[in-house]
Homo-oligomer: A and B are copies of this chain.
Amino acid sequence: MLTKTQAAEKLLQLDDLLILCHRNPDGDTLGSGFALCRALLNIGKRARVFCQDKIPDKFRYMVPEMPEFEPKHLISVDVADFALFGDKTEEQIALYGPVELAIDHHPSHRPFAQELYLEGNSASCCEIIWELLNEKKDCWKLDRTIADCLYTGVATDTGCFKFSNTSPRTHRIAAELIEMGADYVTINKVMFDTKTFEELKLERLALDRLWMSEDGKIAVMTITKELMEEAEVDETGLDAITSLPRKIEGVEVGITLKQRGETEFKVSVRTGETTSASDICAHFGGGGHARAAGCQFEGLSTGEIQKKMVEAAYQEMGRG
């Protein structure tokens, strides 16, 4: 593993660089990639970001004009595991690889690159990119669009400074990015205060079918294929709604059933401080984290799944 200074120096040496993001790209992998790409372009190097999946429209402001060239170096940002690249990125690695350096913040990182710079307690990969650029500040030409890119990852990976991964350093970096001119008002509006009409419709339809236990501690939401069709959303539109049941005041266990196939359901569980979501899901062969976990069912009706989930939730409730 590289030291911080070694990693910071390595970034400055790179040219003709292909920067690899993980598939299903989010604000942190794209923010890290485009910040670094722009920093290199600004000092006359050639660099390009590669992400095999479509970059969501809301992140377009990060994308610079990128030159065409034959990559001589490859690095990855925010990629915790080789399996998260995806087939088209693997092709790029086969053509131009290997991956020389992986920069990541996932404690679960499984090494795949020649060298690694990992800060497992960093809230976002963008925090690390900021730290590395800042280490050699005088050698770079950092501008406000780079600040926009980094702020995007810092904010989105912490739920706008709400999640427990937010550290004093996170806030201090946000302060510096705002001083650099990051347009945090617009970025936060787009990332946190915008809902598509379809998402709202789905929310409305799902709320119509919300089930609450009599003591108000368990809320279950069931999203059938039929309901998704009515709201005109696909699987990718379901992320936000999964956290909704748990947001209801007094609810300790929020459960969302999502229909996958005809008789196939994916169940997401979100819990408060005193109940383990992964312990609930372990009843049915699932798992995950303490506050967020999942499991799957096949061949059962929604009523049967709900009954099983609620029973397991009551058994685990209050056990931590």
Interface of A toward B, CB cutoff 8 Å: 160-164, 166-172, 174-176, 178-179, 184-186, 188-189, 192-197, 200-201, 203-204, 207-208, 210, 212, 216, 243, 247-250, 273
* Sampled A-B contacts (15; CB under 8 Å): A160-B160, A160-B162, A161-B161, A161-B174, A162-B184, A162-B192, A163-B185, A168-B175, A168-B178, A168-B179, A171-B174, A195-B247, A200-B207, A203-B207, A204-B204
Contact with A172, one of B161, B172, B186, B212 (Cβ below 8 angstroms): B172
- CB contact between A200 and one of B194, B200, B248 (< 8 Å): that residue: B248
Bound state CA distance, A82 and B203, in angstroms? 43
CB distance from A218 to the nearest CB of B (A): 13
Closest to A190 in B: B249
Interchain CA distance A194-B250 in the complex, whole Å: 9
Nearest B residue to A192 via CB reads: B162
Would B195 and A166 count as touching, CB distance under 8 A? no
For the complex formed, measure the closest distance between the CB of A122 and the CB atoms of chain B, giving whole angstroms: 15
User: Is B178 within 8 A of A162, CB to CB?
Assistant: no
Which residues of the partner chain B approach A203 to less than 8 Å between Cβ atoms?
Answer: 203-204, 207
Closest 10 CB pairs of A and B: A168-B175, A171-B175, A162-B188, A204-B207, A171-B171, A171-B174, A164-B185, A196-B249, A172-B175, A168-B179
Total identical chains: 2
Taking the nearest CB of chain B, how far is it from the CB of A142, in angstroms? Answer: 16
Q: Is the interface of A mostly helix, strand, loop or mixed?
A: helix
A261 to chain B, nearest CB (A): 28
Chain B residue with the shortest CB-CB distance to A155: B161
Taking a contact as CB atoms under 8 Å apart, the answer to whether B179 and A162 are in contact is no
Q: Which residues of B contact A179 (CB under 8 A)?
A: 168
A176 to B216, CA, bound (A): 37
* Across-interface contacts of A250 in B (CB, < 8 A): 197
Q: List chain B residues, Cβ under 8 A from A212.
A: 197
Q: Does A193 contact B249, Cβ atoms closer than 8 Å?
A: no
Name 9 extra pairs, CB < 8 A, besides A160-B160, A161-B174: A161-B184, A161-B188, A162-B188, A166-B178, A171-B178, A196-B248, A197-B248, A201-B207, A204-B207
Q: Give Cα A174 to B170, complex, Å.
A: 10
CA distance A216 to B196 in the complex (A): 11
Hey, which chain B residues are within 8 Å of A200, CB to CB? 207, 210, 248
Query: A53 to chain B: closest CB distance in Å?
Result: 20
Chain B residue nearest in CB terms to A201: B207
* A170 and B185 alpha carbons, distance in the complex (Å): 14
With beta carbons under 8 angstroms apart, the residue of B163, B176, B193, B243 that contacts A247 is: B193
